[in-house]
Structure 1
Amino acid sequence: MDLQSKIAGLPALPGIYQFKDKTDKIIYIGKAKDLKKRVKSYFQKKSYRSPKDQSLINRIFDFEWIICEDEADAFITEATLIKKFKPKYNVRLKDDKSFPYLKITNEQFPQIDITRTIKNDKSRYFGPYTDVKSMRRLLDVLYRAFPIRNCYIELEDGTIIKKGLGIQTITESDYQGMIDDMILFLKGETKALEKKLTKQMQFFSSELMYEDSARVRDQIKAITSFKRGQRKLEADFTNRDVIGVESKDNHHVVVILRIREGRILSREKISVDTNDTIAEIFRSVIINFYMNAAYIPNNIYLSELPTEAEELQEWLSDKNSRKVVFNIPKRGVKLKELKLANRNAKLLLNEWMLNLAKRKDYIPKLLTELQDILRLSKPPRLIEAFDISHLGGTDTVASMVVFKDGKPYKKGYRKYNINVDQIDDFESMREVVFRRYKRQLDEENPLPDLILIDGGKGQLSSAKESLDKLKLKLPIVSIAKRLEELFIPGESESLRVAKNSPALNILKQLRDEAHRFAITFQREKRTKNIARSKFEDIPGVGKKIVEKIYKRFQNTNDMKDLSDKALAYKLGVSQKIAKMIKKLLT
């Protein structure tokens, strides 16, 4: 690939670039004000590069680029693509699911709910919140302070019967007033809200509207109770966020304290595993955390400026419709708050590291039993299992499932389309095992402690040939379905394992999961590929019957072994049609 010629054709515009390795996998995604200048900088000689940067450059085989409207658009596109492709060399948040938000729906009588998806539906979104338990507690407070509906029945006179905390009627305008109050609360403007509610309570009392007065009194109590649970800081009532961090090795915890009206409204935690600088970590956290934030304070305090600080400030200011500034506190209240954020981060990091150590030290007993049975050098904490599936020799696929510490690790599951033309399970197994571990070697990814093959000696031998071709010496075993026999390379006889052995059971679970995953993928592929089947040439046979055929028979030739009556029953067709189907197969 002539990268220099490709760089010469890059535009000097803002956008996103994606570096790829020789397997066409995206390994890094970056943002640039000037695409040409930024990408070119990677290939210029420098006196020093970090080991990570040098490793990245050594693996760049090709790149793609996307033009963005402006830098703000580039920030969002970059973060979205990093979440989607999870490139090896980008800073990736451990909590890489979309952050949860509180959503106030855009309806005549709005509801409030939790969502991880921001839609352009004119609803109001508040957050993000990284601690779901705390967010649910907040939701409980909202229902107590603002008794809005979970569901409603609208009456002809424009009132509604509300089912939430009790059953009551309320007009649309009064209901909307409660929603406005809730929005003030979620913004942290509790002083203004308490003042407003106190006036309402006094008005209701003066008009002898005692039930309404009691309702507002209860709202004020719920808000006051919530505030008591928040830590009160010194008398600086400017709204701000304070971002602290604590690191150990390549593990980092970032804490964001949301301070509103002199109180800590919430503490958000984000975990990161990377060897990048703190400045790079702050940049990634700020983009992801504030990308969909409903409210951004004017001041954000940190221990050091993030990478691209000026561009980030400009982006946040544009989102906020007023200036947002990063500050590094040197003294006073703000420095105390930063130290508090750092202390929180340290405690959370210690807790995280302790849990990591516990998980690392804990090895399920069944894995040590499996180690003994298979004579392995260590317990197989990471096991990868393979299965092949086809229908009558067509649409052959393979699956690979992963168990970590004895439990399914679904993020690691993989599907493969197999290129073998005829029915050949041995050649199919050779292909999938070679493809899997060739890629793992190319990408320098971890290798399993044990490989499990669904099948007998033939499938095992085929998989072993592929490993030998790659010069890999990995423990491998196969499990045959009929007698649940285990085979290992170099042994003519199967291993004898008690039928109720936990070690055998986990291998059976792996085998069954690999089979399920392969069958599901194979059927999806088959259904997708059915444009017109030969069976549709039979009068009375349509797509629904064809789908039944492929769902109920892994090998369509098996239908020949059934009687006309049995096949008719299985497919829900007449015996005449069943006979024609069988005739087509002869």
Structure 2
Amino acid sequence: MTPELVQKLQQLPRKPGVYIYKDKSGKVIYVGKAKVLRNRVRSYFNKGRMDGIKTFRLVTRIHDLETIITDSEMEALILEMNLIKEYKPRYNVNLKDDKSFPYIRVTKEAYPRIFPTRKIVKDGSRYFGPYTDVRQMRGLLKQINKIFSIRSCRLPLNDDSIKQKKFKICLDYHIKKCDGPCEGFISQVDYNSMIDHVIHFINGHDKLVVHELTQKMQNFAQKQRYEEAARMRDRIKFIENFQYKQKVIVDDSKDRDVVAVAVEDEDACGMIFKIREGKIIGRNHFFLNGVMQDDYSDVVGAFLKQYYLKADFVPREIYLPAEIAEQEHVQLWLSEGVEYSVQLIVPQKGEKAKLVSMANKNAKLLLQEMFLRKEKLKDKPPHAVEALKRDLFLDKLPRRIEAFDISNIQGTDPVASMVCFVDGIAKKSDYRKFKIRSGDTPDDFRMMHETITRRYSGSLTKSMPWPDLILIDGGKGQLNAAVQALQEIGKGELAIISLAKRLDEVFMPGETESYYLPRTSSALKLVQRLRDESHRFAITFHRSLRRKRTAVSELEKIAGIGPAKRKALIKFFGSVDDIRQASVDDLALVNGMNRELAQLVWEYFNVAH
């Protein structure tokens, strides 16, 4: 704990408000509210009251603290919700990013338009959603366009432009999909009345719309405006047909939402059933972040507050699977924007409890589906691996690829490297180095033959799985040497190719001509990465051996420094240059060295030379 944080803890006020925890980088990691800030914040740092791994992880990452004093607990509640929405702190339960979910937008124009959007613009338009089920939203818009004659054009319509006859009716008017506001065939009052009906329809208040349309139909009929009356009649029929398809699950006409939350380990799914006039008109679900050993009621409360913070409609009754903290305050907050008192109810039995149970089963099902999708993604190979199988006509997916390269300078310090990629990602624990044993003459083919033989016939076969594809850095000669080695040890069935540095030619066994992977292919990029990584690994190993050999040969010239001490010096300093720059005191620190020997070494590099 920093001194600044200790000082802030000592100066905490005894007032309601919001506290914000930040990590070393200044990032907000948790937002909370308190009736008394001093008591609540200090409780986090009381080791005896540190409940659970989540609190422990949070406290160990707190580097700074900020508090905001509010006039009341209600104000603190609202501020907390808005800050969580803004910062999405890691240790708060919050909805996963819902920016991709669409809304239905009703524009704020003299003659409003209605269309789907994924972007919220603060221009006075009304937004309904978000819709987590895009098919449901499209079906609703399809019904709206079938029942109501809403304009689809983007014309800047107003009373002046209509009076000046700037625009002409389009095909939509002739096929009765629009009432022609552009030429004044429908008044602004009547058009906006129709928009009100659409909004009621979106909110599931079908009976209210039918009632108002019936009154209009009767008024038109009394005035002998039979064509307009017929239009109202058709709209009523469409709505009634739509209602017929919806299942009635509650006998009364109250608006209510059913909330459920399924939690498993650190994942959760929140579900909302929207019940309007006794029918389920839709459902929304959201996956939650930041669930780590939280009480179930806390997760329910967090989901409830975040959902209704941006909801387009709050019903009179909301059924919950469990009581939440500060339930009365939350009810008051929910009631602020409506003309009625919102009730949070935890049903214990009967039809209401069955509704909560049904919503909970759906939430659990969606959570399990998410787990299955994650597992499938884990098992699904990357596109580059699939492309490599396709482009090289391989029998199976090359999920495990082992690549080999040889490195030497005129036969000195010859080494080989093997790197391994699994699903396109380097698996460094399976990298291997080989010191070539078969002579010092520069024969890359013989060296590759030895390396392949040692990898696929020795002890490595017991500790490592067989590859799906072997990649040799080199041309036809290196490939033939590797193929011969595989055949000699009875592993000729392993898939193998080589990639030449020049022009990135691919050679395959039994083929006289080289093969070129498409330049834009992700498969080519994958084998290039493997080739380059095997080359890097080989050259790094070769250079380290060469440095050690050079150091040994130089140290052999110093009388009194035997093999054990030479080895210890090289191990301690790493190179001749580092030994040359070391002081007598530094040299004396090496195991087996004393000050007299250290002086000899120092004089060799700094006096004699």
- Structure 1 match to 2:282: 266
1:156 equivalent to 2:163? Answer yes
* CA shift for structure 1 position 110: 1.4
Distance 2:502 2:84 in 1: 45
Q: Residues 542-561 of structure 1, C-alpha deviation per residue, up to 9 Å, x if partnerless?
A: xxxxxxxxxxxxxxxxxxxx
SS class of match (1:155): helix
- Is the 2:21–2:62 Cα contact (8 Å) retained in structure 1? yes
The one-letter amino acid of 2:26's match is D
The one-letter amino acid of 1:30's match is G
Q: Residues 527-579 of structure 1, C-alpha deviation per residue, up to 9 Å, x if partnerless?
A: xxxxxxxxxxxxxxxxxxxxxxxxxxxxxxxxxxxxxxxxxxxxxxxxxxxxx
Pairs within 5 Å for 1:293-332: 293-332=311-350
The one-letter amino acid of 1:359's match is L
- Is the 1:20–1:28 Cα contact (8 Å) retained in structure 2? yes
- Is the 2:102–2:116 Cα contact (8 Å) retained in structure 1? yes
Distance 2:516 2:15 in 1: 67
Alignment partner of 1:130 out of 124, 129, 132 = 132
- Is the 2:104–2:114 Cα contact (8 Å) retained in structure 1? yes
Distance 2:12 2:136 in 1: 47
- Structure 2 match to 1:93: 95
* Residues 362, 190 of structure 1: alpha-carbon distance in 2 compared, 3 angstrom cutoff: same
Percent identity over the alignment is 39
Q: Residues 167-192 of structure 1, C-alpha deviation per residue, up to 9 Å, x if partnerless?
A: 63211121121112222223322112
1:236 equivalent to 2:252? Answer yes
Alignment partner of 1:277 out of 275, 295, 305 = 295
Distance 1:308 1:339 in 2: 23
CA-atom RMSD in angstroms: 3.6
* CA shift for structure 1 position 43: 1.4
- Is the 2:258–2:355 Cα contact (8 Å) retained in structure 1? yes
- Structure 2 match to 1:37: 39
Q: Residues 113-144 of structure 1, C-alpha deviation per residue, up to 9 Å, x if partnerless?
A: 33455565443333343323312221222222
Q: Residues 428-472 of structure 1, C-alpha deviation per residue, up to 9 Å, x if partnerless?
A: xxxxxxxxxxxxxxxxxxxxxxxxxxxxxxxxxxxxxxxxxxxxx
The one-letter amino acid of 2:299's match is I
* CA shift for structure 1 position 290: 0.7
- Is the 1:14–1:68 Cα contact (8 Å) retained in structure 2? yes
The one-letter amino acid of 1:256's match is I
Alignment partner of 2:13 out of 5, 11, 24 = 11
* Residues 158, 240 of structure 1: alpha-carbon distance in 2 compared, 3 angstrom cutoff: farther
Pairs within 5 Å for 1:180-259: 180-259=196-275
Distance 1:160 1:14 in 2: 58
- Structure 2 match to 1:56: 58
* CA shift for structure 1 position 483: 6.8
* CA shift for structure 1 position 233: 0.9
- Is the 2:259–2:270 Cα contact (8 Å) retained in structure 1? yes
- Structure 2 match to 1:359: 377
1:504 equivalent to 2:492? Answer no
* CA shift for structure 1 position 98: 7.2
SS class of match (2:401): helix
Alignment partner of 2:305 out of 287, 298, 311 = 287
* CA shift for structure 1 position 50: 0.9
* Residues 23, 295 of structure 1: alpha-carbon distance in 2 compared, 3 angstrom cutoff: closer
* CA shift for structure 1 position 6: 0.6
Q: Residues 177-210 of structure 1, C-alpha deviation per residue, up to 9 Å, x if partnerless?
A: 1112222223322112212212322333344423
* CA shift for structure 1 position 37: 2.8
Distance 1:343 1:37 in 2: 39
- Structure 2 match to 1:542: none
* CA shift for structure 1 position 42: 0.9
Structure with max Cα Rg = 2
* Residues 255, 211 of structure 1: alpha-carbon distance in 2 compared, 3 angstrom cutoff: same
SS class of match (2:95): coil
The one-letter amino acid of 2:306's match is N
Pairs within 5 Å for 1:414-493: none
- Is the 1:148–1:162 Cα contact (8 Å) retained in structure 2? no
SS class of match (2:283): strand
Alignment length, in residue pairs?
407
- Structure 2 match to 1:344: 362
SS class of match (2:260): strand
Distance 2:332 2:90 in 1: 28
* Residues 4, 325 of structure 1: alpha-carbon distance in 2 compared, 3 angstrom cutoff: farther
Unpaired stretches in structure 2, ≥5 consecutive residues: 386-396, 404-417, 428-500, 506-513, 531-609
SS class of match (2:336): helix
- Is the 2:94–2:303 Cα contact (8 Å) retained in structure 1? no
Q: Residues 19-78 of structure 1, C-alpha deviation per residue, up to 9 Å, x if partnerless?
A: 223343332222334333321221124355111111211222222233456555544543
With the length of structure 2 as denominator, give the TM-score of the two structures: 0.59
The one-letter amino acid of 1:272's match is L
* Residues 108, 296 of structure 1: alpha-carbon distance in 2 compared, 3 angstrom cutoff: same
SS class of match (1:196): helix
* CA shift for structure 1 position 263: 0.7
Alignment partner of 1:372 out of 398, 401, 404 = 401
* CA shift for structure 1 position 312: 1.8
Distance 2:178 2:328 in 1: 51
Distance 2:235 2:315 in 1: 26
* Residues 225, 69 of structure 1: alpha-carbon distance in 2 compared, 3 angstrom cutoff: farther
